[in-house]
Amino acid sequence: MIGLDMTVWALQIVNFLILAGWPVLAIVALMRLRHCRLDDTARVLWVIVILLIPLLGAVAFFIVRPGKPRSGEER
C-alpha cells in the first residue's frame, strides 16, 4: 500500500508543477509576443493559441518564434 501512496503523491506533484508552470509560461510567451514585429491579425491569433491551448500553445510559440524583434530591441 505504501508504494501506491507514493505513486499518487508523485503524480499529484507533477500535476501541480504543470498547473503552476502553465500560467508562468503563458505570461512569458505573451510578454515576448509584445516585442515581435507582427501584424495585428497574427498577433491576435498567437494570443488565442497561447491562451486557449494549455501549455502546448506557449511551447509552440517558443518553437516557431514568429516575427522578428522590433528595431532597437534585442532579445
75 has pLDDT over 70: no
Q: 65, 57 in Cβ contact below 8 A?
A: no
Among positive and negative, which fits the CA dihedral 11, 14, 20, 25? Answer: negative
1 has pLDDT over 80: no
Distance CA(18)–CA(23), nearest Å, equals 9
- The pLDDT tens digits of the residues spanning 18-66 come to 899 999 999 999 999 998 889 999 999 999 999 999 889 999 999 998 8
Between 6 and 69, the higher pLDDT residue: 6
- The pLDDT tens digits of the residues spanning 50-60 come to 999 988 999 99
Distance CA(41)–CA(54), nearest Å, equals 21
Region class of 67: left (phi > 0), else alpha (psi between -120 and 50), else beta: left
**What is this structure's pTM?**
0.72
